[in-house]
Amino acid sequence: MSDTKKPFMNTTRRQALGLLALGASGVVMTGLPGFSRAFAQGTKDAKGQLTVGFSQEPTVFNPHMPHIEVDEGIHFSIFDPLFYVDEKGAFVAALAAEVPTVENGGISADGLSWKVKLRNDVKWHDGTPFTAEDVKFTLELLVDPNFRSWRKTGHEFVRELTVVSPTEITWKMEKPFAPYPSILASTFITPKHALGSAADRNTAPYNNAPIGTGPFKWKERVAGDYILLEANKDYFGAGPHIETLIYKYVPDLNVLYTQFKTGDIDVVGLQWITPDHYDEAKALEGKVVTVVPGSTVESFTLNMERPQFKDPKVRKALYHAIDKQSIIDALYYGLPTPTESYVPQQSFYYNPDLPKHEYSMEKAKALLDDAGWMPGADGIRAKDGVKLAFTCSTTAGNHIREQVQQYMQQSFKDLGIEMTISNLPPAVMWGDYWMLSKFDSVIVGLDFLTGPDPDTSDFFRSTSSAAKGGAGQNTWQFANKEVDDLLAKGGSLFVPEERKAAYFKIQEIMRAELPFLPLFQYATVRGHKQGVENVVFNINTRIDTWNVGSWTVS
Amino acid sequence: MLSYLLNRLWQSLILLVLVSTIGFAVLNLAPGGPLSQFALTPGMTREALDRIAEQMGLNRPLPIQYLDWAWRLLQGDWGTSYRDQRPVLEIISGHLFATLLLMGSSTLISILVGTWIGIKGATKRYSLFDYTATIGAMVALSIPTFWFGLVAIYVFALKLKWLPAGSMYTIGDQSFSDYAIHLIMPSLVLALVNIAVWSRYMRTATLDVINQDFVRTARAKGLAPRRVLMKHVVGNALLPMITLAGLQLPTILGGALVTETVFTWPGMGRLFLDSLGYHDYPVVMGLLMFSAILVLAGSLIADLLVALVDPRIRLG
Amino acid sequence: MSAATLPSSAASARPRWWQNRTIRRFARHKLAVIGLVMIVIMIFACVVGPHLLPYDELYIDLRARFAPPLTGSHIFGTDPLGRDIAARLFNAGRISLLVGFFAMVLSTLIGTVIGVVAGYYGGRVGAVLMRFVDAFLSFPSIFLLLALAAFVKPSPFMITVIIAVTSWMEIARLVEAEVRSLRERDFVLAARMLGLPNGWIMFRELLPNAVGPIIVAATLTVARAILLEAYISFLGYGIQPPLPSWGNMLNGAQQYLDKAPWLAIVPGVAITLAVTSFNFIGDGLRDALDARSDLN
């Protein structure tokens, strides 16, 4: 790590050279036996059938088009990136022969020149060899103005893409962009020969019958029901070990769990087992059920531009009035972990020394009295003509959250605060209502970090509020000069230990300012039947099947 | 006859235009949109969402979007789903089988049982059977279908464990008996209401016929009562049922919607709810048009059939 | 219907003429009487019940969650937040019955006005209006309901309006047919010759003839509206918590079906009872208002 420090001193943009360094360690790990996504050549022993249940339906199979996390379950089965992030946060080579780093010459010391060496033994599912042309095609497709590209971030800085040979590609970056390796780690390579020839790549037939290099091949899809994949016998890695892989769409979590119990489903995927079933599930015979931390943090989000919430004492009082422990213990069956930060507790950047939340109606009341919010004739507190009344919204149909809302509503009411519940269907909730900060308050679970990178400029920078003309997702309309400076500073540092200080401080400020009241970090109950091995949880990816190629079933 | 047909078709066309404008307006005036589902993705920004909206043509004025949609529809292009980029017609037809299977079997059950109850009730008027059937029908019409479904799941799936709680089949075992076992509960639950409707109508229709002169004549001729019933009464009583059947066609979608939700049945009702939730307008519009066409075709076919069967009616 | 076959010019004498017979016929209809009694009991329970129970319908007690029926003084048990289900049920009944009642009033108003106007004027006006009726009938009502519910604030008032907007068509059709069949009758022609305004003829001369069928349809509409409220609230688009309604008490009950079946059973029975009662009453009214039923 230390030897890559100096050349980056002058760069201005956020630099997470630590990632590049981590990548280097990943290269070392590829050779280790028993690794979760093994890529060593081996004999194919694919046999049997495995059914994974998802409670949402995967519908987008072109990984570069707008999609939701459940779609990535399919992407990880069919495609490979150049390299990916494993469960320890290290980069591991996939289609690339090695993870490009400064040490091995893959990335220039200034971060501007990239050279990626590729494997020469990879074939697409239709038999066509994989070459550097496919990588070039993919990186160009992502910024093609006629293509409904999922995300341009990072890719838009790529210039002078050059295919040196079928196994080598080089490019220049317009500016150094340290998060790029983590972005590339979730960029699946798509075939030029299959997708490139389509007149309109947005509606190409390819998008519904994808061809990849991954451990599984597309076989068939019955819309609204299931997707069936079969083993890619020519896979360049060690897997796959399963002959037939089925992704079943079960829209109801109770039915999903019931089908897991009856054995219709072998692995419970996305949305997993509901907390109320945990006690029963862990006692099930022949099933392995574990509680796994998620990267999502649930918060009670406030719109800082609302006059009620401008007073910091009101925000603190609200936080005191939330009976976090009862919510977690009774409504979530004690599974999630209470938290004071937006950073997942497994992260290197998590600040464990933030002040602990205290549930105290007395303190809440004292704070409000001090600040001059006095109950009016209707029992609702008010100050300077502003009533302490607001709406609270979340996605309609999320029953546990609706219960949390009602529980909070009662506590708030006891304090003389009127909270009205106004839940909305998802498409309304997360549209302009959320993005343009039209809400008073919202209960939401957010992944603040993209992969392992601690940068949260899109969420916290004062210029990131769409309601104020910004481009990010600072829907709190939070504006704090010190945080702005710290974000800039954290982005210009690159040694994890040095960055840490800046992000610890940001967490401290967010905890003190409370634009959102942190409730807890998610924990999910995952389950698979006994005999399914290598189902490993990875906090750096959004989906369970990130290493499905190395799963085995007995 | 021909001018009648043309007139009916013309009216149907106007209706379709009305239905589509009302539907389009209701859907698109609602806040939110198909891109909202991506908002909570890590790293998603307003900028990226705006760009995708622009590319998908979602930023155009509504009348333009409507005309574009309508013009394509006239050329046989039902549009493409926002969710999975597949043609709408393909998606609808993919869900059609499940719905037809469910509706078909439940309709069959309800016609058979309903007709039987209706005739028996009419011939044995004011008997205990008739009273029970009448009260039963009223209660059946009053039970919320989804709730009845829940109770059925509780009793037969969770407690007795006789029947599966949902889905259309077990993957890997798509045999006839597997379908059949999954079909029992939803089709019976759905049939309950329809049995009530059919038995009520059949009872009234039979009563209307039973007292008419030609039935008395037939009896006077000395024909066996059973023969009179089967040949003269039932035949004539079934005639108005044709109209009813035609009018029942549209309930295929509406009626199945809630049942499909409760039993996680992969049919069109579920598709509608999923698509509505994600604001997948092309699919929702497609389903609305599809059901509107069913309604119009249903009533037209019913009228034509009645005219064909009953010589007393002349269309014109 | 009775008045339709015997058009009387003595409008003022008409009500008294059929009222008594109707009531007598209605009273003979046992089911209708049972229905009426049940509704009266339910309304009474919903009005008085909450005051008799020791619990507030909104009071949350997490220690008492999922208490089965007959635990202590929780006669119907408690819900996932430990609230008393009986208290919620009676308060929910107020909401659900009121929504049902006002949706009926509103849809009857809309349907009657459109039906009378379409039937009386006929021709182009009538055709246009009736095409609108057909267009609305071409949507499965639950589709229209959900689509509308997705973009309004789901307050009880708006839910009432939405239900009314999707249930007025049958009454419109019924009234239109009735008025159309009467508008060339002598008493209407006479009224026109006397120079009475159209509004008067429509609503004072023609409409009273359709009152019977309208009353029947309106009663059935209450039943339908209660069901529709239950449907959309069950799907999460209806009345929002913590305000209880019979429909939203069922919302979420499916999740706890195995563990706490009473969550689903109690409100479901209430809905079924209320809807059945209204249907019984409607049936009784139909017989009572139909002159032909005397012949049998």
Q: Does pLDDT of A42 surpass 80?
A: no
> What is residue A18's predicted lDDT score, i.e. its pLDDT?
37
Six token digits for residue A160: 């002078």
In a domain, C21, yes or no: no
> CA–CA distance from A530 to each of A245, A263, A290, B224, C277 (Å)?
17, 11, 12, 69, 53
* Cα–Cα distance measured from residue A37 to residue A47, given in angstroms and rounded to the nearest whole number: 18
- The percent of residues in chain A predicted with pLDDT above 90, rounded, is 52
* Cα–Cα distance measured from residue C296 to residue C293, given in angstroms and rounded to the nearest whole number: 6
Q: Does pLDDT of B236 surpass 90?
A: no
* Cα–Cα distance measured from residue A451 to residue A362, given in angstroms and rounded to the nearest whole number: 40
Residue A187 sits in the same domain as residue A322:
no
What average pLDDT does chain C have?
Answer: 83
Residue B173, class by beta-carbon neighbours within 10 Å (0-12 exposed, 13-18 middle, 19+ buried)? exposed
* Cα–Cα distance measured from residue B271 to residue B260, given in angstroms and rounded to the nearest whole number: 9
In a domain, C82, yes or no: yes
The identity of residue A187, as a single letter, is: T
> What is residue C54's predicted lDDT score, i.e. its pLDDT?
83
> CA–CA distance from C25 to each of B70, C28, C113, C283 (Å)?
54, 5, 29, 12
C152 touches chain A (CB under 8 A): no
> CA–CA distance from A36 to each of A88, A92, A547, C131 (Å)?
11, 11, 7, 65
Among B37, B84, B172, the residue with its CB nearest the CB of A427 is: B37
- The percent of residues in chain A predicted with pLDDT above 70, rounded, is 91
Among B37, B81, B86, the residue with its CB nearest the CB of A430 is: B37
Among C135, C137, C264, the residue with its CB nearest the CB of B150 is: C264
A310-333 average pLDDT score: 93
Among C31, C146, C250, the residue with its CB nearest the CB of B135 is: C31
Among C141, C147, C265, the residue with its CB nearest the CB of B26 is: C147
Most confident of A237-246, A502-511, B143-152, B164-173: A502-511
Q: Write the secondary structure of A406-445 as one string of H (helix), E (strand) and C (coil).
A: HHHHHHHHHCCCEEEECCECHHHHCCHHHHCCCCCEEEEE
Q: Does pLDDT of B194 surpass 60?
A: yes
Among C140, C230, C276, the residue with its CB nearest the CB of B138 is: C276
Among B40, B48, B171, the residue with its CB nearest the CB of A151 is: B48
The enclosing domain of C279 has a CATH number of 1.10.3720.10
In a domain, A149, yes or no: yes
Interface contacts B/C by beta carbons within 8 Å = 122
- Distance from the Cα of C221 to chain B's closest Cα (Å) equals 12
* Cα–Cα distance measured from residue A279 to residue A398, given in angstroms and rounded to the nearest whole number: 21
Bridge partners of residue A420, in order along the sequence? A391
Q: Does pLDDT of C3 surpass 70?
A: no
Considering Cα of A124, then A129, then A135, then A141, what sign does the dihedral take?
A: negative
A488 touches chain B (CB under 8 A): no
Which DSSP category does B315 fall into?
-
- Mutation to test the B interface, candidates C132, C141, C143, most B Cβ within 10 Å: C143
Asked if C210 and C181 touch (Cβ cutoff 8 Å), the reply is no
> What is residue A495's predicted lDDT score, i.e. its pLDDT?
66
Check CB contact under 8 Å for A326 and C80: no
The band of C19, judged by pLDDT with boundaries at 50, 70 and 90, is low
The band of A263, judged by pLDDT with boundaries at 50, 70 and 90, is confident
The enclosing domain of A91 has a CATH number of 3.90.76.10
> CA–CA distance from A142 to each of A188, A330, B37 (Å)?
11, 46, 20
Asked if B241 and B201 touch (Cβ cutoff 8 Å), the reply is yes
Chains touching chain C through at least 3 C-beta pairs below 8 angstroms are A, B
* Cα–Cα distance measured from residue C21 to residue C18, given in angstroms and rounded to the nearest whole number: 5
- Architecture field, domain B94-309: Orthogonal Bundle (1.10)
**How far is CA A180 from its chain centroid?**
16
A57 touches chain B (CB under 8 A): yes
Q: Rg for chain C (alpha carbons), in Å? A: 22
Six token digits for residue A146: 């006629």
B59-68 average pLDDT score: 89
Most confident of A483-492, B2-11, B110-119, C179-188: B110-119
- Mutation to test the B interface, candidates C33, C139, C232, most B Cβ within 10 Å: C139
Q: Which residue of B lies nearest to A145 if distances are taken between CA atoms?
A: B55
Which residue has better confidence, B161 or B174?
Answer: B161
Residue A410 sits in the same domain as residue A515:
yes
Q: Does pLDDT of B95 surpass 90?
A: no
The band of A44, judged by pLDDT with boundaries at 50, 70 and 90, is low
Select from A463, A492, A457 the least CA-distant residue to A477: A463
Structural domain span for residue C181: 28-53+76-291
> What is residue A26's predicted lDDT score, i.e. its pLDDT?
34
Among A207, A264, A445, the residue with its CB nearest the CB of B170 is: A264
> What is residue A372's predicted lDDT score, i.e. its pLDDT?
93
- Distance from the Cα of C22 to chain B's closest Cα (Å) equals 21
Q: Which residues of B touch A148 (CB under 8 A)?
A: 52, 55-56
Q: Does pLDDT of C90 surpass 90?
A: yes
> What is residue C18's predicted lDDT score, i.e. its pLDDT?
52
| B74-B79-B85 Cα angle (round to 5) | 165
> What is residue C182's predicted lDDT score, i.e. its pLDDT?
84
Q: Where in chain B is the domain with CATH 1.10.3720.10?
A: 94-309
Check CB contact under 8 Å for B39 and A255: no
- Mutation to test the B interface, candidates A184, A247, A264, A477, most B Cβ within 10 Å: A264
Structural domain span for residue A360: 294-523
The band of B251, judged by pLDDT with boundaries at 50, 70 and 90, is low
Q: Which residues of B touch C144 (CB under 8 A)?
A: 26
State the residue for tokens 């989804």. Answer: B146
State the residue for tokens 């048009």. Answer: B289
Q: Does pLDDT of A498 surpass 90?
A: no
- Distance from the Cα of B68 to chain C's closest Cα (Å) equals 22
Asked if B38 and A148 touch (Cβ cutoff 8 Å), the reply is no
Q: What tens digit of pLDDT does each residue of B253-292 get?
A: 666 777 888 888 888 888 888 888 778 889 989 988 888 8
Chains touching chain B through at least 3 C-beta pairs below 8 angstroms are A, C
What average pLDDT does chain A have?
Answer: 86
Chains touching chain A through at least 3 C-beta pairs below 8 angstroms are B, C
The band of A16, judged by pLDDT with boundaries at 50, 70 and 90, is very low
Considering Cα of C42, then C44, then C46, then C51, what sign does the dihedral take?
A: negative
Tally of domains within chain C = 1
Angle, in degrees to the nearest 10, between helices B145-152 and C262-289: 140
- The percent of residues in chain B predicted with pLDDT above 90, rounded, is 5
Q: Which residues of C touch B291 (CB under 8 A)?
A: 138-140, 143
Check CB contact under 8 Å for A423 and C240: yes
| B299-B304-B310 Cα angle (round to 5) | 120
The band of A504, judged by pLDDT with boundaries at 50, 70 and 90, is very high
State the residue for tokens 């959309």. Answer: C232
In a domain, A146, yes or no: yes
Tally of domains within chain A = 2
Among B46, B84, B170, the residue with its CB nearest the CB of A473 is: B46
Q: Which of B36-40, C12-16, C22-26 has the lowest mean pLDDT?
A: C12-16
Q: Does pLDDT of C124 surpass 70?
A: yes
- Distance from the Cα of A279 to chain C's closest Cα (Å) equals 12
How does DSSP assign A209-240, residue by residue? S---SSSEEEEEEETTTEEEEEE-TT-SSS--
The band of A186, judged by pLDDT with boundaries at 50, 70 and 90, is confident
Q: Which residues of B touch A446 (CB under 8 A)?
A: 40
Asked if B47 and B57 touch (Cβ cutoff 8 Å), the reply is no
> What is residue A319's predicted lDDT score, i.e. its pLDDT?
96
Interface contacts A/C by beta carbons within 8 Å = 50
pTM strictly above 0.95: no
Most confident of A212-216, A328-332, B43-47: A212-216
Chain B contacts in chain A segment 347-366 (CB below 8 A): none
> Which residues touch A316 (CB under 8 Å, ≥6 apart)?
A364, A367, A514
Q: What tens digit of pLDDT does each residue of C246-277 get?
A: 988 988 787 788 788 999 999 999 999 999 99
The band of A30, judged by pLDDT with boundaries at 50, 70 and 90, is very low
Check CB contact under 8 Å for B288 and C272: no
Which residue has better confidence, A44 or B95?
Answer: B95
Residue A390 sits in the same domain as residue A519:
yes
Check CB contact under 8 Å for B31 and C151: yes
Q: Are strands A49-54 and A267-273 parallel, antiparallel or unpaired?
A: parallel
* Cα–Cα distance measured from residue A420 to residue A430, given in angstroms and rounded to the nearest whole number: 19
C158 touches chain A (CB under 8 A): no
Check CB contact under 8 Å for C80 and A403: yes
Q: Does pLDDT of A203 surpass 50?
A: yes
B193-221 average pLDDT score: 80
Provide long-range contacts, Cβ within 8 A and 24+ apart, for C183-187: C183/C119, C183/C120, C183/C122, C185/C7, C186/C7, C187/C7, C187/C9
- Mutation to test the A interface, candidates C63, C65, C81, C245, most A Cβ within 10 Å: C81
The enclosing domain of A303 has a CATH number of 3.10.105.10
Check CB contact under 8 Å for A254 and C237: no
C170 φ, ψ (degrees, to nearest 5): -65, -40
